[in-house]
Structure 1
């Protein structure tokens, strides 16, 4: 029977047995290297109320919650996508950060620009620089 994935769907390599973890969605026992871990920010305060409180200067706490899913639940929830065979063979990271575009801002013309006048050059300064190796 052909192998579908080179790593057999796990990250453990040749380490032997590893601990099992429970899926947070369905409760299935999954090997730790096969489980999908997702870290999401969680705030106990609703979003619209948090914005109002932050405008008034209050600090609204945000907690990071790590959830563990089995492969079936991760696909069902849309965390993982089913990929074609040639895409599975390629070594491409699934969670690649989007490329940041740098925005160049031009200062408005209404503000007077502050220009510095160049310092007057003296002949001693240039001679001293040439004399030293």
Structure 2
């Protein structure tokens, strides 16, 4: 247990902190992405999700996410439904899907995103 020092006392030499410039020098390595490939920024931990392609666990902020909205009926069959409908102006329901992929490789493999040049990023 440590005791509190009085204002007139000086701390013992073992508790003094000395500055050693040789211990502080760190080689600056280059980094590929400013955000480290994540969208975490100040959070310590982010919950994990599963990839829709390979079922790999990946942090939620690192995953590639797309919100897909599509018609339940195929486009070539919509005219049949509108003709057979009793209600005028009836809108067919849509499917709302949140797609998540673990890495860019999985999203490119499923052809959901394409490779862009550096200036287009």
- In the superposition, the TM-score normalised over structure 2's length comes to 0.60
Q: Is residue 26 from structure 1 mapped to residue 54 from structure 2 by the alignment?
A: yes
The answer for unaligned runs of 5 or more in structure 2 is: 1-28
Aligned to 1:70: 102
Q: What pairs with 1:105-124 in structure 2 (closer than 5 Å)?
A: none
Q: Find the partner of 2:113 among 80, 101, 107.
A: 80
Aligned to 1:37: 65
- Deviation of 1:42 after TM superposition, in Å, equals 3.3
Aligned to 2:5: none
Closer/same/farther in 2, CA of residues 79 and 59 from structure 1, 3 Å limit: closer
Closer/same/farther in 2, CA of residues 47 and 80 from structure 1, 3 Å limit: closer
C-alpha offsets along residues 73-127 of structure 1, whole Å, 9 cap, x if unaligned? 1122333333455655xxxxxxxxxxxxxxxxxxxxxxxxxxxxxxxxxxxxxxx
Greater relative contact order (CA < 8 Å, ≥ 6 in sequence): 2
- In the superposition, the TM-score normalised over structure 1's length comes to 0.55
- Deviation of 1:45 after TM superposition, in Å, equals 2.7
